Amino acid sequence: MEIKNHFGVYGVCLQEGKLLCIEKTRGPYQQRFDLPGGSQEVGEGLTETLKREVLEETGYTLSHYSNPRMYDVLVQEEGKDFAVHHIMAFYDIVLDFERSQKSLPQEVLDGSNDSAKAVWLNVEEITADNASPLVLKVKAELGGFPELDMTGYRNWKVKHAKSTGS
């Protein structure tokens, strides 16, 4: 089986029992809640990527970040003969609501980004059926999901957008 590596940087923002998530529009985590973040661009440092991705996917700017940590998971989509080794750097983030944008950046609106919108999700609502492995890691950190050391998801089911038939 082929293994494809993917590295990303992600923000973890918890406020009053709610986690800042995005709704994914494509990829293996589409139609699930995911953390804001993503891949580095050429020449970017980790925190530069973090700031750019959070802004692009949520419209929020950061006032502070801390507590860097690393996780990884191996995700094999149902029916695929390869797996993605998803390596992720997490940072706890604090948002700067005064300097944040009132609307999402053009990257979201024109479809070049994979975030439909930002959502504040109650931690209790996070399940293996509605969340990405990244969000499940955060719930595990909080003690609300049993498998912090879970590193493999075989036969991962990709959810597809429901068609709106006429």
CATH of the domain at 42: 3.90.79.10
pLDDT at 131: 93
Is residue 163 in a domain? no
Higher pLDDT, 147 or 132: 132
pLDDT band, residue 130 (cuts 50/70/90): very high
pLDDT at 128: 86
Can you read off the two tokens belonging to residue 115?
Answer: 């975030």
Is residue 166 in a domain? no
State how far the Cα of 22 lies from the Cα of 149, in Å rounded to an integer: 23
Is residue 142 in a domain? yes
| Domain count along the chain | 1
**What does the angle CA 102 – CA 7 – CA 148 come to, to the nearest 5 degrees?**
90
Per residue in 72-90, pLDDT (tens digit) is: 988 888 888 888 899 999 9
Is residue 148 in a domain? yes
Per residue in 10-69, pLDDT (tens digit) is: 999 999 999 999 998 888 888 899 999 999 999 999 999 999 999 999 989 999 999 999
pTM of the entire predicted model: 0.82
State how far the Cα of 82 lies from the Cα of 111, in Å rounded to an integer: 27
Is residue 164 in a domain? no
Is residue 165 in a domain? no
pLDDT band, residue 164 (cuts 50/70/90): very low
DSSP annotation of 131 reads B
Is residue 36 in a domain? yes
pLDDT at 105: 52
pLDDT at 99: 78
Percent of the chain with pLDDT over 70: 78
pLDDT at 166: 41
Is residue 63 in a domain? yes
State how far the Cα of 22 lies from the Cα of 13, in Å rounded to an integer: 12
Under DSSP, is residue 71 helix (H, G, I), strand (E, B) or coil? strand
Range of the domain at 136: 2-156
